[in-house]
């Protein structure tokens, strides 16, 4: 069976990016046989260009391709690095230096109510410097891997992949067998 629309896919891979040293790459992420990348092809779970590069492959096929920033997470945008007043991070008038520290990533909300993740770059006396770019923005991504499973997707796999961390349907937010069109 080949990778195509609505098929369950499992892959192993190494994701690397270029380092500042000419010709060297840094391992950013890997998926192993014990913990593969699993998804339903064509449901928008993966980058479109990633899916385009593995479409038509079968179990045992190896792949090696790169995605430029435009195909992946976009260019790094300096305007997405912002200074936010420390006051907005206070709870009951207190700033928690363990929860708001350099290197941590926090869920945030913009003025329109959109959720986004921000990485804390620096905590200054009056502000917290945060980066709202994707961690891989501006990077060319190099994927090298192997297809380890392709099969018809089951209703259980669809349900498992369309539930939030809290168990609610990611489409209609129902906690039970919702039956919404995206979960059937």
Residue 179: predicted pLDDT: 47
Q: What percent of the chain has pLDDT over 90?
A: 77
pLDDT category at 170 given cuts 50, 70, 90 is: very low
What is the mean predicted confidence (pLDDT) over 5-20? Answer: 95
Residue 157: predicted pLDDT: 86
pTM of the complete model: 0.77
Per-residue pLDDT of 174-183, as tens digits, reads: 445 544 444 4
- Cβ atoms 67, 179 nearer than 8 A: no
What is the mean predicted confidence (pLDDT) over 154-173? Answer: 66
147: three-class secondary structure by DSSP:
strand
What is the mean predicted confidence (pLDDT) over 8-12? Answer: 97
Q: Where are the beta strands (DSSP E) in the chain?
A: 7-18, 25-31, 37-40, 62-67, 81-85, 105-109, 115-123, 127-131, 141-152
Query: Which class would CATH give 7-73+137-153?
Result: alpha beta
CA distance 59 to 10: 9
Residue 20: predicted pLDDT: 85
Q: What is the mean pLDDT of the chain?
A: 89
Here the tokens at position 130 are 């945060």
pLDDT category at 23 given cuts 50, 70, 90 is: confident
Domain boundaries, the chain: 7-73+137-153, 78-131, 154-184
CATH of domain 78-131: 2.40.10
């Amino acid at each position: 069976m080949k990778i195509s629309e609505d098929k369950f896919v499992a892959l192993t891979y190494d994701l690397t990016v270029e380092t500042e040293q000419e010709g060297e790459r840094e391992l950013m992420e890997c998926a192993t046989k014990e913990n593969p990348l699993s998804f339903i092809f064509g449901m928008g779970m993966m980058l479109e260009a990633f899916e385009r590069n593995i479409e038509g492959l079968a179990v045992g096929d190896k792949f090696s391709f790169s995605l430029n920033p435009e195909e992946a997470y976009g260019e790094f945008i300096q305007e997405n690095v912002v200074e936010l007043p420390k006051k907005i991070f206070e709870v009951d008038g207190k700033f928690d230096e363990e929860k708001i520290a350099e290197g941590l990533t926090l869920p945030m909300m913009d003025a329109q109510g959109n959720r986004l993740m921000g990485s804390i770059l620096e905590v200054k006396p009056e502000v917290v410097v945060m980066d709202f770019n994707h961690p891989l923005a501006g990077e060319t991504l190099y994927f090298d891997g192997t297809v380890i499973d392709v099969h018809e997707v089951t209703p259980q796999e669809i349900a498992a992949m369309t539930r939030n961390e809290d168990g609610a349907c990611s489409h209609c937010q129902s906690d039970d067998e919702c039956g919404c069109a995206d979960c059937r």
